[in-house]
Structure 1
């Protein structure tokens, strides 16, 4: 598939590498084409550095990894993406805007995209392409209103090595995922524990 990843930084680079290795064409959409990108990514024939607008236009699926405070600007830059699948992977999600409680609501309101999925792996960027933890694989978590788009996101999660992508429910359950992200951030970052901490659902 043609996949756009909107954003820069370690999460973007890890996702791009993993999805490119799985055989997808990856378009990294940058607000500034002079933004630093790891030279390693430039060795891939199926990774392309383009503008945000071009990445959205060329892709079937759009993955957003930008910080929460950039979501409004990026959403307006995407253009007409109503028929595309958008996976919102932006973290630390509580956007203090007038009528929006989280980035999921911001993207939905601005783009009118109905194929929007909130998705979290809730671990460090190092584990996006190697989600094995002492013999077990960490889980991916998602929420959204489109069953079809959630199936697409689940396939991409498996391409990255995540065996299970847990469906929390419709868009109303997104705040639960936000709280999971905040809990992880508190433990891994604020308490200065290892970044390689992850959530996993276990069954008896």
Structure 2
């Protein structure tokens, strides 16, 4: 696919994994962080080949896709500081219980001009490193109201090795969050994070 400008807010396991893999696939990646000069952030950037940089959170708005790889309670302060009108990807989850507002609805409320897609929330970062398990591509369900935005996110997921699955409009995002809670439960109870759900048809 053609190069895309991707902003990733957060430099934890999920953000750094997604950002690294997209940068290595020739996309321009900007990591939004509170302190771009932190040694850990500098080490992350220096270890990635490609067009990649760390910037203040407020500077990630000049991108085509913005990924919120942050805890749910950080979404409101981040989106309050960023004016964004591109494709906004929400991978956040609350566990063990649903929060008062689904993550995708919170993102849509705080970024009304963005085209919000729920995605990258149903597996851990370990699977994002290599989504092909036992020779089968892990399914990456996604939900959103804008078909063009979902198509772009599906392409980005496919580029990482996932098999994207359009789960429906934004109202379906709550089911993705429930699926994520099941994944987390199984990971915690079984002590294994390197697994994923696969959607297959006859």
Partner Cα separation in structure 1 for residue 6 and residue 29 of structure 2: 5
Instruction: Tell me what 2:53 maps to.
Output: 48
Within 5 Å, which residues of 2 pair with 1:99-178? 101-120=101-120, 122-162=122-162, 164-178=163-177
Query: Is the Cα–Cα contact under 8 Å of residues 24 and 50 in structure 2 kept in the other structure?
Result: no
Alignment counterpart, residue 37 of structure 1, candidates 21, 35, 41: 41
Give yes or no for the alignment of 1:202 onto 2:200: yes
Q: 2:24 maps to which residue?
A: 21
- SS class of match (2:168): coil
In the alignment, which of 69, 79, 89 is matched to residue 75 of structure 1?
Answer: 79
- Using the alignment, how far apart are the partners of 1:172 and 1:183 within structure 2? 19
Cα RMSD (Å) = 1.7
Q: CA deviation at 1:150?
A: 0.3
2: distance between equivalents of 1:161 and 1:63?
18
- Paired residues, what number? 195
Q: 2:93 pairs with 91, 94, 110, which one? A: 91
Contact 2:66–2:88 (8 Å) recurs in 1: yes
**1:4 alignment partner, one of 2, 7, 15:** 7
TM-score norm. by structure 2 comes to 0.90
Structure 2 distance, partners of 1:40, 1:34, is 11
Distance 2:68 2:9 in 1: 5
**Gapped runs of 5+ residues in structure 2?**
none
User: How far 1:34 moved relative to its partner?
Assistant: 4.5
Aligned twin of 2:179: 180
- CA–CA distance in 1 between the matches of 2:72 and 2:30? 21
Question: Which segments of structure 1 move beyond 6 Å, counting only runs of 4 or more?
Answer: none
